[in-house]
Amino acid sequence: MRPKFDHEEEYLVAYYRQYKKSSRQRSIVQEAITVAVGAAFFALGYIKNDVTWSIIGFGLVAYLALKGLISGTRYNGVMSSIIEKYEDALQAEDKRNPAKHDSTSNEG
Question: For 72-86, how does the pLDDT look when each residue is reduced to its tens digit (9 = 90+)?
Answer: 887 878 888 888 888
Residues 25 and 31: their CA atoms lie apart, in Å, by 10
pTM value surpassing 0.85: no
pLDDT at residue 26 is higher than 70: yes
**Cα atoms found within 13 Å of the Cα of residue 15, Cβ hemisphere only:** 14
pLDDT at residue 55 is higher than 80: yes
Q: DSSP for 17-39?
A: H-HHHH-HHHHHHHHHHHHHHHH
pLDDT for residue 108: 45
